[in-house]
Amino acid sequence: MKGFRPVHLLLIVPLIAMLWVPSYNRADPEIAGVPFFYWYQLLWIPLGSLLLALVYWAEARASRKTK
């Protein structure tokens, strides 16, 4: 596909993490009384955002270089 860069593969990481439900369907370890199932998924919200930010910056840099 045109315009594809390896950094775009980062976009798939949240997909794998979230769809692999058995990897997080458990109660331990807890944080401050919150079971793993809940805090792990909440943690992926900022992680997912961070990955998108990395892709965004990588593309912005790449497009500056080509100009």
Partner 1 sequence: MRSWTALGVFVALVAFVTLLGFFASRWRRGDLTQLAEWGLGGRRFGSVIVWFLLGGDLYTAYTFIAVPALMFGAGAPGFFAVPYTILVYPLMFAVFPRLWSVARAKGYVTAADFVRGRFGSDTLALAVAVTGIVATMPYIALQLVGIEVVLEGLGIHGEWPLIIAFAALAAYTYTSGLRAPAMIAVVKDMLIYVTVIVAVIVIPEQLGGYGKIFASVPPPKLLLAPATAGNLGAQSAYATLALGSALALFLYPHAITGVLSSSSREVIRRNAVALPAYSIALGLIALLGTMAIAAGVHAMPEFAAGFKAFGANYAVPALFLHAFPAWFVGVAFAAIAIGALVPAAIMSIACANLFTRNIYRAYFRPVCTPAHESQVAKIVSLIVKAGALVFVIALPSQYAIELQLLGGILIIQTLPSVLLGLYTRWLHPYALLIGWLTGIASGVAMWANLGFTKTTYALELFGVTIPCYAALSSLILNIAISVALSFVLNAVAETRADTTAADDYA
3-state DSSP call for residue 26? coil
62 binds partner 1 (CB under 8 A): no
C-alpha span between 37 and 12 (Å, rounded): 21
Extract the tokens encoding 25: 């369907």
In the bound complex, what is the minimum distance in angstroms from residue 19's beta carbon to partner 1? 5
C-alpha 6/C-alpha 26 separation (Å) is 33
Binding mask 3-42 for partner 1 (x = CB under 8 A): -----x--xx-xx--xx-xx--xxx--x-xxxx-xx--xx
Residue with tokens 């079971």: 35
> Footprint of partner 1 on this chain (CB under 8 A)?
1, 8, 11-12, 14-15, 18-19, 21-22, 25-27, 30, 32-35, 37-38, 41-42, 44-46, 48-49, 51-53, 55-56
